[in-house]
Structure 1
Amino acid sequence: MSKPPRLTLPSVARAYRLVTARGEFAVQEAGGPVRGTALLVPGYTGSKEDFVALLEPLAAAGYRVVAVDGRGQYQSPGPRAEAPYALEELARDVLAQTAALGGGPVHLVGHSLGGLVSRAAVLRDASPFASLTLMSSGPAAIDEVQQARTKLLVAAVEELREDMPAVWAAMRAHDPGDTTPDAAALTEFLRERWLATVPEQLIVTGRVLIQEPDRVAELAAVALPKLVLSGTVDYAWPVPQLDDMARRLGAHRFVVPAAEHSPNAENPQVTAGALVAFWDSCEGFGPRTS
């Protein structure tokens, strides 16, 4: 799971609930749409806080940036049923969030699972978007080793969905822990986020990571500027696989140094710079489908 480098919002940002045609979603927003608007979609077991270190530099570059908790994820409400968390339902949520933001085409950024959700949204309707960035998010299901780990987690949540503290305790037993000065506060936040996330969301989206087919050819047919961004190492989708996906998509490619699966948290300044450079290059591009 992504671990935010800090837990406090920068002074330029605010937290609120975004009202959409598909319900309310907890968001954190910074900046004004001087050069454009971006929507940041988090990954599995994640939340909007995973992007907190990107808000200030992206806002300083002239972009309005909105990071969101998906349906049933941390501070966004969600039902206790599995059907509402199907990938197509989450894609519809992203389209509704984009519509609620207004202000013209939106730069869409999806991290990990959020990349699969964002891809599904673009494949459903690319017209609201100015670009798509797949951040540490690959062409299909995650690596086999990670599939095995995720299957165990999904099975544990299925069995103990009414006792999520027990699943958290089991997860922490296999975690080497953190020795940074704010480790206690971060651990408490991660626990709070885990317990607030709807179990059915974790079950269904975990299956997506295990079963998602390769849809690169479909996405390549969408004439939208695309960026594949990752760290130098990735345990979910190996970097050579991401390189190949970028080639197949005809996408821009950027590798963030000193970062692994969460460049948004591990090297946010360089990640922000890469996003700004990509978004700037998209100016004047009109999305269409070919």
Structure 2
Amino acid sequence: MSKPRSLVLPPRTRARSLVTARGDFAVLDTEPLGEPRGTVLLLPGYTGSKEDFLAVLEPLSEAGYRAVAVDGRGQYESAGPRGRAAYRRRALALDAVAQAAALGDGPVHLVGHSFGGLVARGAASLAPAAFRTLTLLSSGPGRVARPQRIRIRVLRVALALLPKERVWRAMCWLDSRGEEPDTDDTPELAGFLRRRWMRTRTPQLACAGRLLLDRRDGAPELAALRTPLHVVYGSDEMVWPVQDLATAAARTGAHHTVVAGAGHSPNVSHPRELTDRLTGFWERQAAPAGVRTAP
């Protein structure tokens, strides 16, 4: 999961409810600074939330973009039903299409981080006219790496057998035994992480985990899209094999970005550099034919 380094809302940002044709969703909505250049819809990953994008909201705003980060159905502060059928990828993708429509800004740039990338590519397939571009951030069309597959399987079994509080304590203990244990969480951040875990619906966690374990090759789906595609990830990515991501970018003809020194969450660790790469891609897509823009 992504772990924000600060929970302070950036300038021009408000937490609100986005009312859509498919229900209400909790969002962080950041207005652009100066002349508007577009709107960005940001979908978080597995066990994550809209707060995973806090660090990129201000630089996106400064670049002239309205940035809207959303809690998906059943994630943290967005309501979600108990039935697992509500968390199939098509249902989540339709939610993203409805969110884009509710923003009222015409086609938007869609960015999906990790699991959010699976949802995002489903949304772009269902309603390509709703999105100006699609960015898969630390998210691949292939299988996640073996250590992550094992972790997800264990988590799904634990959720089926144990109370969520016990699962949370076990996860924290396992993380503390890693090679680089997290020892600097402030009480505020630790409280937020636990609260986010406890408020995310168990069916959402179980179903999202199942989707992440899907063995199907999603590259043909991406290659068939007419929406301009950007594949971006950190050089130290560990959830998807880096070579598989590079191969997927080549197979789909996507614009390909590697953020040096970043891990699975460039949105947290390298927000300014990531923003530069995202806006550079968007500007190239908006430029008239024959006009070159900065890389």
Q: TM-score range by the shorter chain?
A: over 0.9
Which secondary structure does the structure 1 equivalent of 2:198 belong to? helix
Partner of 1:229: 232
- 1:124, 1:105 → 2: CA distance? 14
Aligned to 2:62: 60
- Structure 1 CA distance for aligned equivalents of residues 157 and 171 of structure 2: 13
**1:121 aligned partner:** 123
SS at match of 1:67: strand
Work out the CA distance in 2 between the residues paired with 1:128 and 1:279.
15
Which residue of 237, 240, 244 corresponds with 1:241?
Answer: 244
Task: Kindly provide the amino acid, as one letter, of the partner of residue 208 in structure 1.
Answer: L
Partner of residue 22, structure 1: 22
Is structure 2 residue 183 aligned with structure 1 residue 179?
Answer: yes
- Contact kept? 1:135, 1:228, Cα under 8 Å: yes
Is residue 3 from structure 1 mapped to residue 8 from structure 2 by the alignment? Answer: no
Q: Which residue of 2 aligns with 1:108?
A: 110
Aligned equivalents of 2:286 and 2:183: distance in 1? 43
SS of equivalent residue, structure 1 residue 223: coil
Inter-partner Cα distance in structure 1 for 2:143 and 2:126: 20
**Match of residue 83 from structure 1:** 85
- The match for 2:36 is 34
For 1:262 and 1:60, how far apart are their aligned partners in 2? 21
Q: List per-residue Cα deviations over 1:22-72 (Å, max 9, x = no partner).
A: 000000011237111110000000000000000000001000110000000
State how far apart, in whole Å, the 2-side matches of 1:68 and 1:12 are. Answer: 16
Percent of aligned pairs with the same amino acid: 50
Cα deviation, 1:203-234, whole Å, max 9, x if unaligned, reads 00100001151121122121211111101112
Aligned partner of 2:168 in structure 1 is: 168
CA contact (8 A) 2:142 2:244 kept: no
Unaligned runs of 5+ in 2: 289-295
For residues 149-160 of structure 1, what are the structure 2 equivalents within 5 Å? 149-160=151-162
Partner of 1:279: 282
Checking the alignment, whether the CA contact within 8 Å between 1:141 and 1:208 is kept in structure 2 is: no
Residue 288 of structure 1 corresponds to which residue in structure 2? none
Q: Check whether the contact 2:4–2:52 (CA below 8 A) recurs between aligned residues.
A: yes
TM-score normalised by structure 2 residue count:
0.93
Shift of 1:284: 6.1
Unaligned segments of structure 1, at least 5 residues? 286-290
Secondary structure, aligned partner of 1:40: strand
| Cα pair 1:31 1:60 within 8 Å, conserved | no
Secondary structure of the 2:6 match is: coil
How far apart are the structure 1 equivalents of 2:138 and 2:198? 25
> Take 1:202 and 1:170, find their aligned partners in 2: how far apart are those partners?
16
CA distance in 1, matches of 2:278, 2:104: 21
Deviation at 1:199, TM superposition (A): 0.4
In 2, distance between residues paired with 1:96 and 1:223? 20
Say if 2:52 is the partner of 1:71.
no
Greater than 4 Å deviation, 4+ residue runs: none
SS at structure 2 position matched to 1:260: coil
- TM-superposition CA deviations, 1:138-175 (whole Å, max 9, x none): 11231222111100001111122xx2111101111111
Aligned residue pairs total: 282
Select between 235-244 and 15-24 the one with higher mean Cα deviation. Answer: 235-244
Q: Which residue of 1 aligns with 2:268?
A: 265
Change (3 A) 1:96 1:212: farther
Distance 1:29 1:245 in 2: 32
